[in-house]
Amino acid sequence: MTNYHNDLILRMINGEKTERFPVWLMRQAGRILPEYRAIRGKLSGFKELVETPELAAEVTIQPVDILGVDAAIIFSDILVVPEAMGLPYEMIEAKGPYFEKRIRSEADLKTINGTVSAADNLDYVYEAIKITKRELNQRVPLIGFSGAPWTIFCYMVEGEGSKTFSKAKRILYSDPKLAHTLLDQITTVTIAYLKKQIEAGVDIIQIFDSWAGSLSPAAYSEFGTKYVRRICEAINEVPVTVFAKGAYYAREELAALDCQTIGLDWNMDIEESRKIIGMDKTLQGNLDPCVLYSDFASIEKSTKKLLNSFGNRRHIANLGHGVYPDTDPEKVKCFIEAVKAHSIN
């Protein structure tokens, strides 16, 4: 099916024997590279870059060329889905996302599109994927992604970032029916969106549940995993990775999902996670991104320790969350090189 120069990550996901651990970084596209900022600086802002397929493709490929990662991840954002459903967002410099229109009631729900046709509004993403695939020219696989329904729900209700997500959680406890209706709609649109990304050429799907850690185990089971499960069951064309940040309490439930890889954040011990999740899945992660603030020798040492904790089992080296914007790209390279220098026997 595939004929990549480097298909290490696909072989690892499939549970095949590999010569070393594959490595990439969450949020590797954008954020840290001066080459990204040079392109971004010529535009009106982040959204213009996301919506210009040729440029989105260019910044997707930058980390492959500059950092030497084993996979590319399409340059976009999880927030394109609420926008496609009818809630436009702005990305405010040094602050983050902002939605003027939010969902707080049944009446608000009536104003959005929660059907598969919403995915037709994201042609710029599919076009960026097609261009990226052509320009990558089989060097490495391409990862497509979406937010998990709970994380998207958080932005659609809050309208911006939050420490507690209490406005979003309030709906779970005060009007669970409304919550389930919106989560159901987000799931429907997300599945259609991911299928179109796959048609356009992505090789792997990652689902980011960035705010899973804000819920209790019972609430995550009812409002989180339930919908991630539906996505996993619907996507059979390519392998799926589920990264539920902060959901250490839900690892058993995540292990039962119909997905190939589980992402771990730095709070989750690798060996304990392996025991809970079992041998049938690939794990991904989980170096604390702040380790990349230490000196080169310490980064190498921490990386070796991490790799030793993988044993010779199914694992993709990565950070425990996205790389922070003020990280020195040379430190990132140091991490990547340390992974590449370690062979699996």
Q: Which residues contact ligand CP3 (rule: CB under 6 A)?
A: 26-31, 40, 46, 73, 75-79, 91, 96-97, 145, 161, 208, 210, 322
- Nearer to ligand CP3 (CB atom), residue 28 or residue 284: 28
- Nearer to ligand CP3 (CB atom), residue 29 or residue 336: 29
Q: Where are the alpha helices (DSSP H) in 159-295?
A: 166-174, 176-200, 217-219, 226-234, 251-255, 270-277
Measured CA to CA, the distance from residue 97 to residue 229 in angstroms comes to: 27
Is 102 among the residues known to form the active site?
no
Which one is catalytic: 11, 20, 37, 77?
A: 77
In the complex, least distance from residue 25 CB atom to ligand CP3, rounded to whole angstroms: 8
Q: Would you give the DSSP letter of residue 323?
A: P
- Nearer to ligand CP3 (CB atom), residue 76 or residue 241: 76
Strand-pairing partners, residue 284, are 263, 316
Which one is catalytic: 4, 27, 70, 229?
A: 27
In the complex, least distance from residue 120 CB atom to ligand CP3, rounded to whole angstroms: 22
In the complex, least distance from residue 110 CB atom to ligand CP3, rounded to whole angstroms: 26
Question: Quick one: which of 289, 300, 282, 286 has its CA closest to 322?
Answer: 289
Residue with tokens 């439930």: 253
Is 229 among the residues known to form the active site?
no
Measured CA to CA, the distance from residue 285 to residue 339 in angstroms comes to: 12
In the complex, least distance from residue 76 CB atom to ligand CP3, rounded to whole angstroms: 6
Is 31 among the residues known to form the active site?
yes
Cβ-proximal residue to ligand CP3, closest one: 30
Cβ atoms of 191 and 225 within 8 Å: the answer is no
Helix, coil or strand: residue 285: strand
Q: Terminal CA-to-CA distance of the chain, rounded, Å? A: 27
- Nearer to ligand CP3 (CB atom), residue 77 or residue 288: 77
| Angle at 328 (CA atoms; ends 324, 330), nearest 5 degrees | 130
| HSE-up (13 A, CA, CB side) for residue 117 | 3
Measured CA to CA, the distance from residue 187 to residue 305 in angstroms comes to: 38
Which one is catalytic: 11, 20, 37, 40?
A: 40
- Nearer to ligand CP3 (CB atom), residue 97 or residue 239: 97
Is 230 among the residues known to form the active site?
no
In the complex, least distance from residue 99 CB atom to ligand CP3, rounded to whole angstroms: 11
Residue with tokens 């037709």: 120
Sign of the C-alpha dihedral, residues 319, 72, 80, 93? positive
In the complex, least distance from residue 332 CB atom to ligand CP3, rounded to whole angstroms: 12
Is 77 among the residues known to form the active site?
yes
- Nearer to ligand CP3 (CB atom), residue 28 or residue 241: 28
Which one is catalytic: 155, 193, 220, 248?
A: 155
Which one is catalytic: 20, 31, 37, 104?
A: 31
Helix, coil or strand: residue 143: strand
Catalytic residues: 27, 31, 40, 77, 155
